[in-house]
């Protein structure tokens, strides 16, 4: 009888530790996953921040590997995490193929129990046959999204991660925090929107100019912050190239450009090196240099010092609310005179992440 009771106790203990959960991802797919996941693969390594927020530092050891996106697009975020968790340097790095997918055999060799991807990659992963191959191998694939419908999909994505790791309390705490900040931001916005243009990846390929955001990404963040993106209705949602002449003709009240440390991605980069651990004065000098390209200095926004550079990786991050706050304070300084997004970010990192929020994530002309 004692042996039987011991067996039953062990079975119940194992069952309590792992369960099959049906998770509906942001592609609307019901996916069966054994939770908590123990070997999650990150198709975008920048999602380590989202995992940290939703699950906590201890669960970062539950990764089977990640892509090479940190080194290419966010070396500052990589350095921030390696500083507090040097063991992450031992995680297998799986480079993306030229088509933006992965070699399925290499991914399967990492023995993931789930793969995390972005909704924006769903079409490619399906048409390239990577998604069907992973599903055929019994590997659940979960799609999250911070890029589109940000205010809806950001808390939903963190909730999905909370389900994956059985850390719903943390996910709920983030959701409450995010929604309170969002409501406070919307409540204080003045009726009159500020006209703005937002340049994407400014300086990434040297002196070239200029790709503008449409209504998604920073276009969405600008609208959330009380900005009127002058090209949101005339170019594709994901943005398009614009001539300097067109920008001068539109002559917005405010000009915003996005930047990050992209030297490892393109050694010719002249972008504004914003991000974790970045000092402010070099970033401001880089921004000023970019605003002297090809006649941009004649913009009224430049003459009146209404130019701002913002950390590019906010477009794909649960921290997007801080970018919206910074933009709102920039567009409407009187309405948000008491708002300090930088201090709010530092406090958020202390509460929700393993890393420091120190760095420079936006600069304005002076």
CATH number at residue 247: 3.40.50.1980
* Same domain? 21 vs 139: yes
Q: Partners of 41 in the beta sheet?
A: 65, 115
Judging by DSSP bridges, how do beta strands 227-229 and 194-199 pair with one another?
parallel
pLDDT for 28 beyond 50: yes
| Stretch 11-27: mean pLDDT | 73
Amino acid 294: pLDDT? 79
Q: What is the pLDDT of residues 51-73, one digit of tens each?
A: 999 999 999 999 999 999 999 99
pTM of the full structure: 0.93
pLDDT for 12 beyond 90: no
Q: What is the pLDDT of residues 303-353, one digit of tens each?
A: 999 999 999 999 999 999 999 999 999 999 999 999 999 999 999 999 999
155 domain residue, yes or no: yes
Amino acid 149: pLDDT? 95
| Stretch 130-149: mean pLDDT | 96
5 domain residue, yes or no: no
pLDDT for 94 beyond 80: yes
| Stretch 274-286: mean pLDDT | 97
Q: How confident is the model at residue 17 (pLDDT cuts 50, 70, 90)?
A: low
Number of folded domains that form the chain: 2
Q: How confident is the model at residue 4 (pLDDT cuts 50, 70, 90)?
A: very low
Q: What is the pLDDT of residues 162-187, one digit of tens each?
A: 999 999 999 999 999 999 999 999 99
Q: What is the pLDDT of residues 241-255, one digit of tens each?
A: 999 999 999 999 999
Lowest-confidence region among 1-15, 30-44, 88-102, 288-302 = 1-15
| Stretch 203-212: mean pLDDT | 91
* Same domain? 167 vs 253: no
* Same domain? 153 vs 50: yes
* Same domain? 175 vs 244: no
Amino acid 121: pLDDT? 94
Distance CA 228, CA 189 (A): 13
74 domain residue, yes or no: yes
Going from the C-alpha of 359 to that of each of 37, 93, 204, 275, the distances in angstroms are: 32, 26, 20, 6
Judging by DSSP bridges, how do beta strands 40-42 and 30-35 pair with one another?
unpaired
| Stretch 43-49: mean pLDDT | 98
282 Ramachandran zone, left/alpha/beta (phi>0; psi -120 to 50): alpha
* Same domain? 229 vs 321: yes
* Same domain? 143 vs 285: no
* Same domain? 79 vs 150: yes
Distance CA 185, CA 336 (A): 9
* Same domain? 244 vs 203: yes
8 domain residue, yes or no: no
Among 181, 213, 233, which residue terminates a domain? 181
2 domain residue, yes or no: no
198 domain residue, yes or no: yes
Domain that holds residue 111: 15-181
* Same domain? 218 vs 340: yes
* Same domain? 346 vs 204: yes
Q: How confident is the model at residue 106 (pLDDT cuts 50, 70, 90)?
A: very high
| Stretch 181-197: mean pLDDT | 97
209 domain residue, yes or no: yes
| Stretch 213-232: mean pLDDT | 97
């Amino acid at each position: 009888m004692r042996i039987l009771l011991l067996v039953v106790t062990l079975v119940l203990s194992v069952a309590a530790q792992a369960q099959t959960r049906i998770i509906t991802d942001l592609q609307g797919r019901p996916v069966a996953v054994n939770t908590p996941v123990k070997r999650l693969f990150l198709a975008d390594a920048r999602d380590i921040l989202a995992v940290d927020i939703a699950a906590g530092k201890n669960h970062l050891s539950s990764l089977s590997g990640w892509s090479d996106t940190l080194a290419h697009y966010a070396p500052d975020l990589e350095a921030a995490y390696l500083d507090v968790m040097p063991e992450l340097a031992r995680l297998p790095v799986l480079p993306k193929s030229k088509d933006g997918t992965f070699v399925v055999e290499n991914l399967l060799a990492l023995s993931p129990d789930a793969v995390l991807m972005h909704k924006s990659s769903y079409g490619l992963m399906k048409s390239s046959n990577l998604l069907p191959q992973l599903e055929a191998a019994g590997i659940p694939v979960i799609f999250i999204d911070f890029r589109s419908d940000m205010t809806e999909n950001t808390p939903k994505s963190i909730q999905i991660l909370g389900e994956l790791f059985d850390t719903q309390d943390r996910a709920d705490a983030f959701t409450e925090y995010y929604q309170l900040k969002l409501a406070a931001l919307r409540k204080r916005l003045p009726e009159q929107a500020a006209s703005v243009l937002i340049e994407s990846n400014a300086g990434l390929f040297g002196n070239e100019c200029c790709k503008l955001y449409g209504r998604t990404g920073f276009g969405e963040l600008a609208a959330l912050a009380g900005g009127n993106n002058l090209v949101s209705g005339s170019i594709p949602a994901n943005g398009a190239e614009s001539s300097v002449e067109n920008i001068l003709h539109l002559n917005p009240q405010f000009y915003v450009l996005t930047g990050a440390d992209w030297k490892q991605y393109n050694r010719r980069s002249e972008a504004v090196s914003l991000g974790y651990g970045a000092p402010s004065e070099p970033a401001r000098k880089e921004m000023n240099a970019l605003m002297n390209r090809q006649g941009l200095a004649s913009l009224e926004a430049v003459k009146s010092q209404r130019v701002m550079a913002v950390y590019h990786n906010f477009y794909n991050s649960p921290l997007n609310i801080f970018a919206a706050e910074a933009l709102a304070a920039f567009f409407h300084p009187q309405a948000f005179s008491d708002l300090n997004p930088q201090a709010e970010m530092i406090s958020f990192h202390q509460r929700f992440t393993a890393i420091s929020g120190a760095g420079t994530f936006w600069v304005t002309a002076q």
